[in-house]
Amino acid sequence: MKAQIIDGKKISGEIRENIIKEVNDLKNSHGIVPGLAVIIAGDDEASSVYVSMKEKSCKNVGFYSQAYKLPQNTTQSEIIDLVEKLNQDPKIHGILVQLPLPKGINEDIINSHILPSKDVDGFHAVNSGNMLLGKPSFVPCTPKGIIELIKRTGEEINGKHAVVIGRSNIVGKPAAVLLLRENATVTICHSKTKDLKQHVAMADIVVAAVGSPNLITGDMIKEGAIVIDAGTRKIDGKLVGDVEFDKAVDKASWITPVPGGVGPMTITMLLQNTLKAARDQCK
């Protein structure tokens, strides 16, 4: 029996419908419009496309959005000045700095200047620390979307063995923390892991977040596992995931496709975080 497909596009659409209702309630009850500011520096084509998608998504759910497109030669101090200005802007509830930044600019320093209450990407050290401690915080959008997709299968995370492949600060590490918070037993694999196949073969839940096409082959997957593919790369103009989908689909119970799985959830979780920020700041 083939795996059931976890349709990230459909699930994302359902969540956005709820966001639209909540935004209308916020406007009608309190006159508040959630506002998101996105800062992009440089001329990275993929980043420009992503920022345009965020602007369009904000408009579709009724948010106020503002994109600040800065030149390649923008200095670190200029970005910090803009962040500080947005920190004080009451119309802006969430601030996001699009990565990658131009060479010579330290993204950790930039993120440290965003108010934790406006850090809707969940990258500030305060939010990262609170997430690790299990306290209220903004959670990075892709890992947050991953947990939502797993929960939408109706399967229990509690007590399951989850294997996360990848240890980036953006996806791998926070995904492992969130799975741990759901009472999974978590193994993190990375480039120095010996015998990756052995670890993956024991996983009830596999989260692949490397960006290495077909790194996880079908024969690695445990029968009946839930497989979440969060690693993407373009090959010959086609988006390819970390998981060998055509083979893994015959072993897994649930699996995300690429594209159409984790990807649509990332911006939706950003919208959800921004809505939360607006509520929290305007209580």
Go through the domains of the chain in sequence order and give each one's CATH number.
31-115 (3.40.50.10860), 140-263 (3.40.50.720)
Segment 28-40, tens digit of pLDDT: 999 999 999 999 9
CB 185 within 8 A of CB 143: no
The active-site residue out of 98, 160, 173, 222 is 98
Distance of CA 259 to the CA centre of its chain: 15
Q: What is the pLDDT of residue 44?
A: 84
Q: What is the pLDDT of residue 1?
A: 67
Residues with pLDDT less than 50, the chain: none
State which amino acid sits at residue 211.
G
Peptide bond into 259 cis (omega under 30): yes
Local structure of 219: helix, strand or coil: helix
Estimate the crossing angle of helix 172-181 against helix 141-152, to 10 degrees. Answer: 40
* E runs forming strands in 138-270: 161-165, 185-189, 205-208, 226-229, 232-235, 238-241, 254-255
Give yes or no: 118 in active site. no
Residues 117, 28: Cα–Cα separation, whole Å: 23
The active-site residue out of 119, 121, 204, 242 is 121
State which amino acid sits at residue 69.
K
The active-site residue out of 4, 9, 27, 54 is 54
Q: What is the pLDDT of residue 119?
A: 98
CB 80 within 8 A of CB 113: yes
Give yes or no: 197 in active site. no
CB 161 within 8 A of CB 176: no
Q: Which single residue is written with the structure tokens 């030149």?
A: 71
CB 10 within 8 A of CB 70: no
Give yes or no: 204 in active site. no
Segment 205-233, tens digit of pLDDT: 999 999 999 999 999 999 999 999 999 99
Q: What is the pLDDT of residue 248?
A: 98
